[in-house]
Amino acid sequence: MIKVRFFAMLKGLAGTETKEYAVAAPISIESLKELIKKDFPSLSQIIDSRSLLISVNQEFASKETLVKDGDEVGFLPPFSGG
């Protein structure tokens, strides 16, 4: 399973903190985004915006990053700590 975690405004819009996906083989971040947009249409706009950051296993991911079974993926709206 891939465990997706939503934070801050994404959590509110999704109505849940986490969502799990079973994958047979590693998938791209872009493919994962498409799955999530289908399941959570309310997140589409933010997911398509440039300001969203994605983490895989607590490290920032790039477009090339592949996500595999057992990974934890964070959907991170712009930070406002400090």
Partner 1 sequence: MSELVTIQKERFSVEEVITRVKSASKGIGAVVVFLGAARDFSKGEVITGLSFEHYPEMAEKKLKDIRSRALDNFNIIEMAIVHRTGPIDIGEDIVLIVAASAHRNDAFMACEWAITELKRTAPIWKRETTQKGEVWVSENP
Nearest to 76 by CA among 17, 6, 21: 6
Strand partners, 5: 18, 74
Residue 25 CB, nearest approach to partner 1 (Å): 25
SS3 52: coil
Specify whether the CB–CB gap between 13 and 82 falls below 8 A: no
In the complex, what is the shortest distance from the CB of residue 24 to partner 1, in angstroms, rounded to a whole number? 27
Q: Which is nearer to partner 1, 15 or 81 (CB)?
A: 81
User: Residues in the site for partner 1, rule: CB under 8 A?
Assistant: 5, 7-9, 12, 51, 55, 58-60, 74, 76-82
Query: Judged by CB, which is closer to partner 1: 1, or 8?
Result: 8
